């Protein structure tokens, strides 16, 4: 359920991040992940990559949030069970723990709450929570892992989503060139990128794109100055509240690793970062940027690509004779 206070909280969070930024900058460096329970994170990693949490036995969390592709799938909308066309662009999972809420419309307050959604969505992984848990309970190695982490081998959907969220919390991207610049290395970004950052601030982009994630802290209307023309039926927060004033109100996306997460916007309509910058300046700020100004801002945005998560791919435990069989064509 959408929390009405999310927008207010997001704006407050954005303002707080602005005030505490190094050298009074509105953007904060990404901090490395702190892992307090390695066994839970490892279990969550296995679940994130395990396609057996889907009806087809083919779709995993990583299918739409591919960690080899900036935590997204580089498609306008994702492909779900039985080649179902998803309703909206898949947001990156990278740095998602920094967001005030999850999904474009904020319908999940936490990563844990979000993790359960796609599993049971007939247009995504096409399963049910009960059937997903039945699969995991039928695999002895999973039962042992859940017992190690949670103290019992019963396996519940609450534990499944908790473990996935614990892994996703580690998917941060520190050490971007811009972060090194923020910390004092003035040679970390080019003169063009620095001009782009100053322009990014002066024309007002930082009003929404600020803090550690350079976004994700508030909800804003898509098309503040000019209406956004799209064939995508998504209505943003209005789809939850039914209120006209919430129409086209979406969570501000993070700009971290934005060079990797094309195509852009909730409908995935624009494939080039230059196009996206031009559209946002016109629709949100009422500014028509020159070609040089667009290039400068894009040069800055390129410096927000941080160190991508790097780890050994998990070896998934084999199914047993009792494991329910996948149904990829049903």
* Catalytic site includes residue 124: yes
The CA-CA-CA angle for residues 194, 199, 201, to 5°, reads 100
Residues in the chain: 330
Cα–Cα distance measured from residue 251 to residue 96, given in angstroms and rounded to the nearest whole number: 12
Choosing from 42, 124, 169, 293, the catalytic residue is 124
| DSSP letters for 63-85 | HHSBTTTTTB-SSSS-B-GGGPB
C-alpha pair distances (Å), 27 with each of 12, 16, 147, 181: 15, 11, 41, 11
User: Within 10 Å of residue 237's Cβ, how many Cβ atoms?
Assistant: 25
The CA-CA-CA angle for residues 13, 18, 24, to 5°, reads 160
189: helix, strand or coil? coil
Which residues are annotated as catalytic?
Answer: 124
């Amino acid at each position: 359920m959408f929390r009405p206070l999310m927008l207010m909280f997001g704006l407050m969070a954005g303002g707080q991040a602005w005030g505490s930024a190094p050298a009074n900058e509105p953007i904060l460096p990404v901090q490395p992940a702190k892992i307090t329970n390695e066994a839970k994170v490892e279990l969550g990693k296995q679940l994130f990559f395990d396609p057996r949490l889907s009806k087809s036995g083919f779709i995993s969390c990583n299918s739409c949030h591919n960690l080899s592709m900036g935590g997204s799938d580089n498609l306008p909308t994702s492909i779900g069970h039985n080649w179902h066309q998803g309703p909206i662009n898949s947001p990156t999972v990278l740095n998602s723990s920094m967001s005030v809420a999850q999904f474009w419309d904020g319908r999940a307050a936490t990563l844990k709450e979000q993790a359960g959604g796609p599993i049971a969505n007939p247009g995504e992984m096409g399963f049910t929570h009960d059937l997903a848990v039945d699969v995991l309970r039928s695999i002895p190695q999973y039962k042992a892992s859940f017992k190690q982490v949670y103290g019992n081998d019963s396996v519940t959907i609450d534990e499944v989503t908790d473990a996935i969220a614990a892994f996703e919390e580690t998917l941060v991207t520190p050490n971007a060139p811009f972060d090194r610049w923020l910390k004092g290395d003035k040679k970390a970004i080019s003169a063009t990128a620095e001009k782009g950052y100053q322009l990014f601030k002066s024309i007002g982009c930082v009003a929404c794109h600020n803090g550690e994630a350079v976004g994700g802290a508030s909800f804003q209307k898509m098309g503040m100055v000019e209406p956004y023309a799209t064939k995508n039926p998504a209505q943003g927060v209005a789809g939850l509240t039914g209120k006209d004033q919430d129409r086209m109100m979406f969570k501000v996306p993070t700009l971290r690793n934005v060079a990797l997460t094309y195509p852009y916007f909730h409908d995935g309509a624009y494939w080039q970062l230059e196009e996206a910058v031009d559209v946002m300046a016109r629709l949100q700020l009422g500014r028509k940027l020159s070609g040089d100004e667009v290039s400068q801002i894009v040069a800055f945005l390129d410096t927000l690509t941080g160190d991508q998560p790097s780890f050994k791919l998990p070896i998934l435990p084999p199914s047993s004779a009792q494991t329910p069989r996948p149904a990829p064509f049903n």
